[in-house]
Amino acid sequence: GVLGTPAMVRLIRVLVHDVNGPVGITEAARMAGLTPAGTRKSMEILERLGVASRVGTGRAQKFAPREGNPYLPLFRELFMLEQRQHEDLLRELRDAVGIPEIRDAWLRDLPAETSHVLDLGVVAETRSISWIGPELRARLTNTEKRFDLIIELSVFTRADSPEIPDGAVMLWGPGANADVDRSPGVQTHAESAERSLRMARAIAE
């Protein structure tokens, strides 16, 4: 019941891994990609199951992990391992596209726990367009095998390159952030929000 739906898994991740302290419904919904109504319902289920507890009252009411629950250390370890795998994946992708002929490279969306297909877009120098696709495909083969996923590669020149989508993860070029290490419990929510804002500004520029 605790891990029975993607929504529950996302909220447990927010509670035990992403937030350093109690979190309100609105903020938890934003971080988990859920509606506030769905978040409240799921949080109440987690409270009944002994995973979450209420903190405060009224509009200031928040939810926090229920310390003492025997599953909390296991959940924390699970999401820490997930985070490490996520960081390893981004690092390998950055290594694969990090060649001088590539001007920009991005993932359309963050890798999701339910997705086994990644959409990778790159903008290459025109003179290298004939060989850059096969070269990148060869570089990405081991990553696909190691992480059990499919990488759909789209190669563009500057002339035909699309706008980089909102929410894309920059891997190479202006706005790329090589620092993907996010240790749980160290980065505050304010720091996370500030980093997201910096990334959005960099992508916009």
Q: What is the pLDDT of residues 147-196, one digit of tens each?
A: 989 999 999 998 898 888 887 889 998 766 544 444 444 444 455 555 56
Q: What is the pLDDT of residues 58-75, one digit of tens each?
A: 777 899 999 899 999 999
Give me the count of residues in the chain.
Answer: 205
Rounded Cα distance, 21 and 23, in Å: 7
User: In the block, which residue shows the tokens 């993860």?
Assistant: 169
- For the question of whether the overall pTM of this predicted structure is more than 0.85, the answer is no
Q: What is the pLDDT of residues 2-56, one digit of tens each?
A: 787 888 888 999 999 988 779 999 999 999 889 999 999 999 999 999 999 999 8
CA 138 to the chain's CA centroid: 25
Copy the structure tokens of residue 122.
């790159």
Per-residue confidence at 93, pLDDT binned at 50, 70, 90? Answer: very high
- The number of C-alpha atoms within 13 Å of 117 and in the hemisphere containing its C-beta is 3
Q: How many CB atoms lie within 10 A of CB 159?
A: 7
Burial zone of 97 (CB within 10 Å; 0-12 exposed, 13-18 middle, 19+ buried): buried
Rounded Cα distance, 90 and 85, in Å: 9
Rounded Cα distance, 104 and 170, in Å: 8
Closest CA to 111 of 64, 143, 69, 154: 143
What pLDDT score does 184 carry? 42
Give all strands (DSSP E) within the chain, no chain letters.
52-55, 62-65, 102-107, 117-124, 150-156, 169-172
Rounded Cα distance, 22 and 62, in Å: 6
